[in-house]
A and B are shown apart, each in its own frame.
Chain A
């Protein structure tokens, strides 16, 4: 989302509260908190104009640690509460902090409706692929066959692909980042903040207690470059430790190619975050990174951005138009109605 810039000199410190942070030591949430605290002061928005709404889950404790207006609400409904807040107060910079269970399971319905309405808010989904707060059940983003407290024989649920879901709901800003890459996360959050419309940011977050290392393959030096693909606007999709692999579009079919004899960078897919159709393919690059043999790397960055009118603006506009054409409402006229009679 975007908000009008005002000259304010704030630092990350201004956004920290006196509350003791109560996530498990080593939790990925700490890094996300730090990056948000670093990004917010750079946006030129007065501190009191930030409102952070969260649902329930480990991630949803976030507002307590941010010295802004904040509401730690109920499970799955942060998106709906934020919608009402933004509708009533378009002047605020509204942030939603949610997790995979909160946004995709109990709050799945509100998530898709927020996206289609395109309220100008930032929607951060901390995806750790597990239920942390309730101590370790599988989540709607957990991989199939996962053994958890509630699935001792393995999960038989097919997981959501959050970005594909957001794309399907006509999201206008769709991005992925991760807790372990502070710089990338800061850049992504800044982009999200500047986007006018609902900015959907999936953040891979390590739950070191119940699902430790689930994204390690994307963060560890040895595997990171082969399994992750960093998206840059107008740049070819190149990845690999030696920058030796790329993605090419063969008709509508993406394929992994080796750079060298047969293919050069010129043959590759050039990333264009404004291309709706390419974004549909890109969000579907969701292969299991542990799969042996050729498979797609997992993309990170901004997949898609487009501009579409925001609900709150359209809402205000309708009111304005009615007032322009009919004049401001007159309560006495309303109460009187059209037909009256007198009794003496």
Chain B
């Protein structure tokens, strides 16, 4: 039999199955294997909303999408070239997102009468048999039977345990299909099941069986290869958003010399930061799982007051609960980093789905005039830099800082050319020094040229002073109800935050000319989709540029001037229009919004269509 090998530039593959089928693990293994070959990639895990939705049902479907390419990758891909569907529900949920002519690899055991019924197919209808998939190349594999067969000698394992290895069969087959080796996964299995010999051996056996199935079955004649991507030279690793964020916090702690304290309450999709940081006690990290969101931020305020780098992590509903304490931190003018991994809202909303839901909340959601700097991460690896920068701003400007990320970035992965610790910008911090001569009273709200007050921590002789949530007299910090003082303090706190603009970089255009027909302004996780859409349109000759905001409050000083150079402005957001309101307010610009509020990312394709529509209107 002749085997051909075809080289592809770009593949989007989606693994989908029941939440118990191990699709996240399968996806991660394939991602890891791909990354180590130097192929560029982006991933998008798509979890079911319920932890244990009934097996085989539509709400129970868990997906993992991976886009890999020999070119630079900016998004996990709009539409899949290949779908792996472990059961009927997984096919049904994902059918809309497969390319016409794409491949569907199905586990036929997941299409028996029971599974079809659970997936709400009408009685007697089986999509594998009724011709409805004629536009696709369907590869049917009896994964369950083949797995059991491969394990027939593993008599000490029950059927349940054997069947659990099904995903390894699929993974093995995909490895064969893309001409990979099994070594990364075998190494992973060894580490995971090191002491459970028969589980380890059975998984390896099934993995190999899947690979050999591709190799020996004559039906499969083509293998595909994706070459290494031409990325900037350097050493890379794969990183997920929340992990990068946790590393950024640790790095800031190390480089500033401030011990890191995290006060947090578990909440999806932020909990992984708490999990990650709790592993790194070797860096002196203190993680405190508080009794609620309010205690989480309050304990961080206490830690910051004591001279630690206080951080709290949460998502939308938790943000709402922390509101009053954020106001206290603004009044106290102490450093604090508040991380909000946004999700669909309002209320409990869509916990596992992404949304740029909380910009308004971050900007305005507190009582009184309560300005706080806001910074947003654009990609999984960007979370590292943004977390580092949030800490820098917090400690150098004596202010709480809000960091916005979202579920899409938090769980997504990409290659990361990680920095060397020596190359990270130092974060200089000075506590107020002890005063032996107690004649001169310490002035806790005396400000420097940045309008920043001293960080005077308990235990420092001569600096005893009182702070609190009541309005302060400037300089002395004494309680003051004086009308003029209140106006002065409100203005001063605002000016202090505005002044941060002098200490952040100017806004750069991500791509495109400095003047033109259309400027697309984005923030956060829409980065990849906007970038790839704009690049493609530029190649087609459209006059369109892209600016992506990391600093959302204050804006970089030149943003207004950039905006003026374009005839039109488009602001795509995964919400009902939040940044756009702020831009309109601050720059009186007649910006247009493109808003998708479906709990899923904006795609490149839809953006291209929208941008063309806008440009053709004129």
Chain A residues close to B by CB (< 8 Å): 17, 19, 46-51, 53, 56, 63-64, 66-74, 77, 80-89, 91-92, 109-110, 113, 315, 318-319, 322-323, 326-329, 331-332, 334-337, 339-344
Contact = CB atoms under 8 A, between A and B. Distances in A.
B236 A341 contact: yes
B284 A91 contact: no
A149 B184 CA distance: 71
B299 A87 contact: yes
A332 B235 CA distance: 12
Contacts of A53: 302
Given A72-B470, A110-B295, A334-B247, A88 B261 contact: yes
Contacts of A113: 290-291, 295
B458 A92 contact: yes
A58 to B, nearest CB: 14
A87 B288 contact: yes
A335 B421 contact: yes
Contact of B232 (A331, A332, A343): A343
Given A48-B462, A88-B259, A334-B280, A80 B306 contact: no
B281 A19 contact: no
A109 B291 contact: yes
B314 to A, nearest CB: 15
A34 B134 CA distance: 87
Given A84-B301, A85-B306, A315-B286, A48 B461 contact: yes
Given A84-B300, A331-B254, A342-B38, 19 more contacts: A19-B466, A48-B458, A56-B469, A70-B467, A71-B468, A81-B302, A87-B261, A87-B299, A87-B302, A88-B261, A88-B303, A88-B307, A89-B306, A89-B307, A89-B308, A322-B282, A329-B280, A339-B36, A341-B235
A270 B302 CA distance: 41
Contacts of A88: 259, 261, 286, 302-303, 306-308, 310
Nearest to B327: A74
Contacts of A323: 281-282, 284
Interface residues of B, number: 75
A330 to B, nearest CB: 8
Contact of A335 (B184, B232, B259, B419): B419
B35 interface: yes
B407 interface: no
A87 B457 CA distance: 14
Contacts of A335: 247, 251, 418-421
B337 interface: no
B295 A329 contact: no
Given A63-B466, A74-B328, A322 B306 contact: no
A48 B420 CA distance: 39
Shortest 6 CB-CB distances between A and B: which pairs?
A72-B468, A84-B302, A84-B299, A80-B298, A329-B283, A85-B302
B478 interface: yes
Contacts of A64: 466, 468, 479
Given A92-B306, A335-B251, A69 B465 contact: yes
Contacts of A87: 261, 286, 288, 299, 302-303
A74 B324 contact: yes
Nearest to B248: A335
A319 B284 contact: yes
8 contacts: A71-B466, A73-B468, A77-B295, A81-B305, A88-B306, A89-B457, A337-B418, A341-B237
A251 B160 CA distance: 56
